[in-house]
């Protein structure tokens, strides 16, 4: 035996690499010796006819025929079932026998009607092609298994690559189906070699441990004879000696938790995910028996719910393993949703539906929020997380930032209201770790807060149907609990990790505000119709709950509060972090569109049915309902033409300006207007008008009491003046409402990314080619513009609308969009000067810079906003609002709203076709708070509902509203989940302290503050109508009210 590592380090490292290679020298290396005695003939194979995704019991009724290895199956997304009749040869007696199956696709092994292990075919490192039949064969025993083969890979069926659009005609060859003897002793030796190699190769070249590992590995190869078993044990002993050399007390600790990140839809549809979950869960349940100390965490109530419904036997096993502590539930949400786009109430419901499911099914709420893979994290999340009973948060996506490096691994994340959650980014920068020495060490070397908290979490296991951790990963982790130079490793759960981290929590720094993700900025815009469906359904579900709660509380005859669980679950599902952002294949958006359509039609049916109970089809008067927390004043078309009004619309309907109180009603008859709130809620008596001057040949001049707008016949705005202040909004000589097409070619992630250089290359879209005045006042003016040559293959039609009663201009837009790699923005160069702009987010707003001073400012060249963005000086400002868009950029006084993109992967047809959207300009005095921008955001998005009623109809008393504060918004009213009273949610919308009190016309017995899970907050204080309730900046509170 040699006594020193030769001075040819790199050569020796490669010697070790070849000894564990599964490509080179497998006839003489250790890897090639793990499996022996291959027996294809021991498996009699039959295959079914081609079928769809069907249950096991239906698969038994398919037609089967004999089949051999080598046959190919397709096309993409088809399914085939196999019957495997196995007889273990007597030569394998006493041996550990595995079934090896490689269909180059995903597959699931069933035994006696129960899924028992998932398989991932192919040649990648993430393949899983082995299934242990027996530890100790008795020889000649028989097994009957079935394999459900899906004609898709782990990453779907992309044409020639990962994120390419689907290839519908892919086929998958069954390249392996055989028995083999597994040599566990050889495998142990192999595993040690891989670990020593990892240390030798990846530790710094001059480090003692690297050289020691290389020395040991080289010695082991010298000693090892793959054909002489007696040489193996001494080699294992050498390795064990190395790995038993212990660390000092100060060594970093890593807690390793097994996981399978399952994208609920992405490069495959929802239907395939149901099977991916079953494959992954079955595999992990099996491994839990092999490794009793092993813990596996799984998030997303939706996955459990599907498994319960489709694989009840597997679900029972999960329940047992949850009880025994090995299968660990985490996350607390229905799905791992997008972290930017869902509304505040959607965030709440993600947790409410998730936590409620986990509590009902497994007896406890989750204690960590788990969202490793979404594209940025709203600054309102910490408060929502706390409101839903969770204090800890795990993510890591910001490690993908392509401009700045995030400075923390363990820190307090403080939201816009000041709420804090304890946050950890696993420093190995992955939620799919291979659990090798390299990534365990990276957990230490890349931990940016290790001096304050000397612990890290390692999240390991193949994701996306890859089935989670492999045997190889588990073997490695259990071999290095405390090895000198490597962090101490224990297996555990996220809860165990946070218990450790909590000890040092007082030393940690805080990060305040959003966790802005410096990548994937195109996801605020891609798949625009999915985003529109989400916004519309969020408002509709809100409206159904509002009207239902009011009718329920007023005991309206024949009214029954609807069960909206199915509709909410569909909405929440489609907020998944690859669906709502627009980064999935086309099939997924077909599903999403159908889901949104169903929610929409169900909601409209509920709304019509509920309001119908209040009136009659032959009524002479019109009842209006306002489902928002703001008084709404709107010009609308009446459902009947018998009431005299100042204007008839271009479609022949009577137009009226009506005013409806928050969560209240207004009744309109030919002679009078009454309202459910007596104060300040009747139709404004001020004579407001809007008029248009068409005398100028090149532009229209539209004016009302508040603003004066010059709009050129090419559709652009040359002037917008606040009349009272005589302030010009548009930069003189420049034009607002200009459409700009940007070159939109990212570096790789097509549907995901709009890159910074795209801002440098753009051209104006084609101007309006015709225009006409549709309505000319006095309540509403509409001018319609048509851009026949808008872009290469696209056309646009737009109605510019001004009303008598507001300084807001609406731009109702229809576009036929057929472009490639272009991003469309509408832009307004303003005269406003402010170093920050404000953006609407969930239950509040955030400020972001309007300049590019630092690299952190530069990174925010495109940002997410919900209903509005606002640019204000101290006394005056402009808001750019929208009804279904999310991408904004406001820099150097220019306000831009991102309207459409045209990425070609992973959906080749993304965003092609028809789009409808409205954006609005709102000119206001004062800043956004004084200018009522928050209320305008709701006005642009909300629906007002009307119902014909008889002349003697008495409007319902008000159930609940808030008073005494300009900034307290009553966002949600709904029935309590336990049907014991109603839940109302109020938030502070301006960013300051305030007090409000509740108002009701009904007799309210009890008001109690609760958390988002609708549980009492202790200590309880008695709240009555007129009790002052305090709110701190952007604070969110929920209350249970009982009549
Ligand atoms: Zn994901």
What is the SS3 assignment for 96-132?
A: EEEEEEECCCEEEEEECCEEEEEEECCCCCCCECEEE
448 Cα: distance to centroid of ligand 1 (angstroms): 24
For domain 34-182, say whether CATH 2.60.120.260 is its number: yes
298 Cα: distance to centroid of ligand 1 (angstroms): 13
575 Cα: distance to centroid of ligand 1 (angstroms): 12
What the block records as the tokens of 532 is 């529109």
CA distance 274 to 523: 25
Q: What angle do CA 757, 763, 768 make, to 5 degrees?
A: 145
Where are the CATH 2.70.98.30 domain residues in the chain? 691-941
Range of lowest pLDDT (882-886, 960-964, 1019-1023): 1019-1023
pLDDT band at residue 5 under the 50/70/90 scheme: low
pLDDT band at residue 465 under the 50/70/90 scheme: confident
CA distance 126 to 773: 63
777 Cα: distance to centroid of ligand 1 (angstroms): 51
Residue 856 in contact with residue 404, Cβ under 8 Å? yes
What b/e string do you get for 815-831 counting C-beta neighbours within 10 Å, with b at 16 or more? bebebeebbbbbbbbbb
User: Is the C-alpha dihedral spanning 392, 393, 399, 403 positive or negative?
Assistant: negative
- With 90 as the cut, is the pLDDT of residue 669 above it? no
pLDDT band at residue 676 under the 50/70/90 scheme: low
Q: What angle do CA 264, 268, 271 make, to 5 degrees?
A: 65
Which residues are 974's β-sheet partners?
Answer: 983
For 391, phi then psi, to 5°, come to: -120, -5
Per-residue pLDDT, averaged over 81-91, amounts to: 97
Per-residue pLDDT, averaged over 605-631, amounts to: 95
Q: To which residue do tokens 């204007």 refer?
A: 647
Range of lowest pLDDT (541-545, 546-550, 581-585, 618-622): 618-622
Architecture in CATH of 523-619: Up-down Bundle (1.20)
When the pLDDT of each residue in the chain is averaged and rounded to a whole number, the result is 95
- What lies within 8 Å, CB to CB, of 908 at 6+ separation is 165, 586
Q: Residue 216, class by beta-carbon neighbours within 10 Å (0-12 exposed, 13-18 middle, 19+ buried)?
A: buried
CATH class of this structure's domain 691-941: mainly beta
CA distance 8 to 892: 59
1000 Cα: distance to centroid of ligand 1 (angstroms): 45
CA distance 76 to 16: 40
What the block records as the tokens of 698 is 């090149």
Where are the CATH 2.60.120.260 domain residues in the chain? 34-182
Per-residue pLDDT, averaged over 781-800, amounts to: 97
- With 80 as the cut, is the pLDDT of residue 786 above it? yes
Kindly give the pairing relationship between strand 106-111 and strand 72-73: unpaired
What is the model's pTM?
Answer: 0.97
Q: Quick one: what percent of the chain has pLDDT higher than 70?
A: 98
pLDDT band at residue 673 under the 50/70/90 scheme: low
Find the helix or strand (DSSP H, E) in which 586 lies: helix 586-612
Where are the CATH 1.20.1270.50 domain residues in the chain? 523-619
CA distance 729 to 894: 11
What the block records as the tokens of 334 is 């229905």
372 Cα: distance to centroid of ligand 1 (angstroms): 8
Find the helix or strand (DSSP H, E) in which 72 lies: strand 72-73
For 358, phi then psi, to 5°, come to: -60, -40
- What lies within 8 Å, CB to CB, of 494 at 6+ separation is 257, 297, 328, 330, 367, 368, 370, 392, 394, 457
460 Cα: distance to centroid of ligand 1 (angstroms): 14
Q: To which residue do tokens 């419901």 refer?
A: 349
- What lies within 8 Å, CB to CB, of 819 at 6+ separation is 741, 791, 792, 793, 794, 902
The pLDDT of residue 688 is 87
The pLDDT of residue 7 is 65
Residue 817 in contact with residue 741, Cβ under 8 Å? no
- Angstrom distances, CA of residue 756 to CA of 600, 759, 828, 859, 951: 37, 6, 20, 8, 61
CA distance 544 to 639: 20
The DSSP 8-state label assigned to residue 124 in this structure reads: S
990 Cα: distance to centroid of ligand 1 (angstroms): 34
Residue 91 in contact with residue 37, Cβ under 8 Å? yes
The pLDDT of residue 4 is 56
662 Cα: distance to centroid of ligand 1 (angstroms): 39
Q: Which of 570, 650, 515 is nearest to 265 (CA)?
A: 570
Q: Which of 612, 801, 609 is nearest to 690 (CA)?
A: 801
Q: Which of 911, 864, 906 is nearest to 885 (CA)?
A: 864
Count, in order, helices (H) and strands (E) of the chain: 18, 56
* pLDDT digits 0-9 by tens, 182-229: 999 999 999 999 999 999 999 998 899 999 999 999 999 999 999 999
523 Cα: distance to centroid of ligand 1 (angstroms): 14
515 Cα: distance to centroid of ligand 1 (angstroms): 17
**Beta-strand runs (E) in 788-930:** 795-803, 808-817, 822-829, 836-841, 844-849, 863-864, 868-872, 876-882, 887-891, 894-900, 913-925
- With 60 as the cut, is the pLDDT of residue 683 above it? no
Task: List, by residue number, the catalytic residues.
Answer: 373
The pLDDT of residue 679 is 36
What b/e string do you get for 276-311 counting C-beta neighbours within 10 Å, with b at 16 or more? bbbbbbbbbbbbbeebeebbbbbbbbbbbbbbbebb
890 Cα: distance to centroid of ligand 1 (angstroms): 30
Q: To which residue do tokens 């096993």 refer?
A: 317
Kindly give the pairing relationship between strand 822-829 and strand 654-660: unpaired
374 Cα: distance to centroid of ligand 1 (angstroms): 7
pLDDT band at residue 685 under the 50/70/90 scheme: very low
29 Cα: distance to centroid of ligand 1 (angstroms): 37
- With 60 as the cut, is the pLDDT of residue 678 above it? no
311 Cα: distance to centroid of ligand 1 (angstroms): 23
The pLDDT of residue 681 is 37
162 Cα: distance to centroid of ligand 1 (angstroms): 14
What the block records as the tokens of 84 is 């495997």
894 Cα: distance to centroid of ligand 1 (angstroms): 34
**More confident call, 44 vs 162:** 44
The CATH number of the structural domain formed by 961-1042 is 2.60.40.2220
What the block records as the tokens of 970 is 């009553």
Q: Tell me if the bond preceding 906 is cis, omega within 30° of 0.
A: yes
* pLDDT digits 0-9 by tens, 822-845: 999 999 999 999 999 999 999 999
CA distance 655 to 672: 16
375 Cα: distance to centroid of ligand 1 (angstroms): 10
The pLDDT of residue 748 is 93
Most distant pair of Cα atoms in the chain: their distance? 108
The pLDDT of residue 225 is 96
Q: Residue 312, class by beta-carbon neighbours within 10 Å (0-12 exposed, 13-18 middle, 19+ buried)?
A: exposed
What the block records as the tokens of 951 is 């002349």
Per-residue pLDDT, averaged over 849-868, amounts to: 98
- What lies within 8 Å, CB to CB, of 323 at 6+ separation is none
The pLDDT of residue 642 is 86
Residue 709 in contact with residue 783, Cβ under 8 Å? no
116 Cα: distance to centroid of ligand 1 (angstroms): 25
362 Cα: distance to centroid of ligand 1 (angstroms): 24
Give the SS3 label for residue 542.
helix
153 Cα: distance to centroid of ligand 1 (angstroms): 16
354 Cα: distance to centroid of ligand 1 (angstroms): 18
126 Cα: distance to centroid of ligand 1 (angstroms): 17
Q: Please, where are the H alpha helices in 179-333? A: 184-202, 208-223, 232-243, 270-290, 301-310, 312-324
């Amino acid at each position: 035996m040699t006594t020193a590592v030769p001075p040819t380090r790199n050569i020796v490292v490669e010697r070790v690499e070849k000894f564990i290679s599964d490509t080179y020298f497998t006839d003489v290396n250790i890897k090639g010796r793990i499996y022996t005695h291959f027996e294809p003939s021991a498996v009699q194979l039959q295959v079914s006819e081609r079928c769809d995704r069907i249950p096991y019991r239906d698969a038994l009724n398919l037609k089967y025929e004999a089949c051999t290895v080598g046959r190919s199956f397709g096309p993409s997304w088809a399914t085939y079932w196999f019957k495997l009749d196995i007889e273990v040869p007597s030569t394998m007696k006493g041996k550990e026998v595995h079934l090896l199956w490689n269909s180059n696709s995903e597959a699931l092994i069933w035994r006696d009607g129960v899924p028992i292990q998932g398989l991932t075919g192919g040649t990648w490192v993430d393949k899983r092609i082995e299934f242990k039949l027996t530890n100790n064969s008795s020889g000649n025993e028989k097994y009957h298994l079935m394999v459900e083969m899906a004609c898709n890979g782990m990453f779907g069926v992309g044409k020639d690559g990962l994120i390419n659009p689907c290839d519908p005609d892919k086929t998958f060859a069954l390249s392996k189906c055989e028995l083999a003897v597994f040599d566990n002793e050889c495998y142990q030796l192999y595993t040690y070699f891989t670990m020593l190699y990892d240390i030798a190769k990846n530790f710094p070249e001059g480090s003692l441990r690297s050289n020691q590992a290389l020395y040991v590995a080289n010695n082991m190869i010298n000693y090892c004879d793959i054909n002489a078993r007696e040489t193996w044990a001494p080699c294992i002993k050498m390795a064990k000696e190395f790995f038993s050399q212990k660390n000092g007390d100060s060594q970093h600790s890593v807690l390793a938790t097994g996981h399978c990140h399952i994208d609920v839809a992405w490069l495959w549809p929802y239907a395939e995910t149901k099977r991916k979950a079953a494959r992954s869960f079955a595999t992990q349940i099996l491994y839990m028996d092999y490794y009793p100390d092993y813990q596996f965490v799984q998030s997303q109530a939706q996955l459990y719910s599907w498994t319960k419904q489709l694989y009840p036997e597997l679900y029972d096993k999960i329940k047992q393993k949850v009880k025994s502590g090995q299968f660990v539930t985490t996350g607390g949400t229905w799905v791992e949703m997008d972290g930017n786009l869902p509304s505040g109430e959607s965030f709440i419901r993600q947790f409410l539906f998730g936590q409620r499911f986990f509590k009902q099914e497994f007896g406890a709420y989750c204690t960590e929020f788990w969202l490793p893979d979404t594209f940025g994290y709203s600054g309102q999340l910490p408060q929502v997380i706390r409101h839903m009973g969770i204090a800890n948060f795990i993510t890591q996506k910001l490690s993908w930032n392509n401009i700045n490096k995030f400075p923390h691994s363990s820190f307090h994340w403080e939201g816009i209201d000041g709420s804090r959650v304890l946050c950890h980014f696993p420093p190995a920068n992955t939620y799919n770790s291979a659990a090798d020495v390299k990534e365990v060490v990276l957990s230490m070397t890349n931990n940016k807060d290790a001096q304050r908290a000397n612990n890290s979490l390692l999240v390991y296991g193949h994701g996306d149907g890859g089935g989670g951790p492999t045997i190889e990963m588990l073997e490695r982790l259990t071999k290095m609990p405390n090895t000198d130079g490597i962090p101490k490793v224990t297996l555990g759960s996220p809860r165990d990790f946070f218990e450790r981290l909590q000890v040092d929590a007082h030393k940690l720094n805080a990060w305040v505000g959003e966790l802005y993700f410096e990548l994937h900025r195109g996801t605020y815009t891609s798949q625009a119709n999915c985003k529109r469906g989400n916004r519309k359904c969020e408002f509709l579900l809100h409206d159904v709950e509002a009207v239902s709660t009011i009718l329920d509380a007023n005991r309206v005859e024949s009214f029954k509060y609807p069960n909206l669980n199915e509709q909410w679950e569909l909405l929440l599902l489609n907020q998944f972090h690859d669906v709502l952002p627009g980064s999935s294949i086309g099939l997924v958006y077909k599903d999403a569109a159908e889901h949104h359509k169903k929610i929409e039609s169900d909601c409209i049916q509920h709304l019509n049915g509920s309001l119908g109970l209040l009136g009659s089809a032959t009524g002479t008067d019109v009842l209006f309902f306002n489902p928002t927390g703001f008084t709404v004043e709107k010009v609308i078309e009446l459902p009947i033409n018998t009431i005299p009004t100042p204007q008839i619309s271009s479609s022949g309907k009577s137009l009226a300006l009506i005013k409806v109180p928050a969560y209240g009603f207004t009744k309109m008859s030919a002679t009078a207007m009454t309202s459910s709130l007596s104060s300040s809620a009747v139709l404004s008596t001020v004579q407001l008008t809007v008029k248009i001057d068409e005398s100028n040949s090149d532009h229209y001049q539209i004016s009302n009491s508040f603003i004066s707008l010059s709009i050129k016949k090419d559709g652009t705005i040359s002037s917008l003046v606040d009349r009272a202040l005589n302030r010009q909004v548009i930069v003189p000589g420049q034009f607002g409402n200009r459409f700009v097409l940007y070159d939109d070619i990212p570096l790789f992630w097509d549907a995901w990314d709009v890159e910074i250089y795209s801002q440098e290359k753009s051209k104006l879209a084609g101007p309006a080619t015709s225009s006409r005045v549709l309505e000319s006042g006095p309540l509403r003016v509409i001018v319609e513009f048509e851009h026949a040559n808008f872009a290469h293959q696209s056309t646009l039609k737009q109605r510019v609308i001004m009303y008598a009663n507001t300084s807001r201009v609406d731009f109702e837009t229809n576009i036929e969009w057929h472009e490639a790699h272009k991003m469309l923005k509408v832009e307004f160069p303003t005269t406003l000067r402010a170093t920050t702009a404000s953006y609407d987010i969930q239950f509040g707003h955030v400020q972001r810079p309007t300049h590019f001073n630092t690299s952190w400012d530069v990174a925010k060249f495109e940002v997410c906003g919900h209903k509005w963005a606002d640019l204000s000086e101290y006394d005056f400002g402009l808001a750019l609002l929208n009804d279904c868009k999310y991408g904004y950029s406001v820099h150097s006084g220019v306000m831009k709203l991102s309207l459409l993109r045209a990425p070609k992967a992973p959906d080749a047809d993304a965003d092609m076709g028809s789009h409808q959207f409205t954006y609005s300009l709102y000119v206001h005095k004062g800043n956004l708070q004084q200018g009522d921008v928050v209320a305008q955001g709701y006005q642009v998005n909300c629906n007002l509902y009307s119902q014909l009623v008889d002349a003697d109809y008495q409007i319902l008393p008000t159930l609940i509203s808030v008073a005494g504060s300009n900034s307290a918004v009553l966002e949600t009213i709904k029935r309590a989940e336990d049907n014991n009273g109603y839940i109302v949610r109020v938030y502070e919308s301006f960013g300051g302290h305030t007090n409000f009190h509740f108002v009701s016309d009904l007799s309210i017995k009890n008001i109690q503050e609760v958390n988002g899970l609708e549980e009492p907050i202790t200590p309880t204080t008695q709240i009555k109508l007129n009790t002052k309730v305090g709110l701190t900046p952007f604070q969110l509170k929920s209350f249970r009210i009982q009549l």
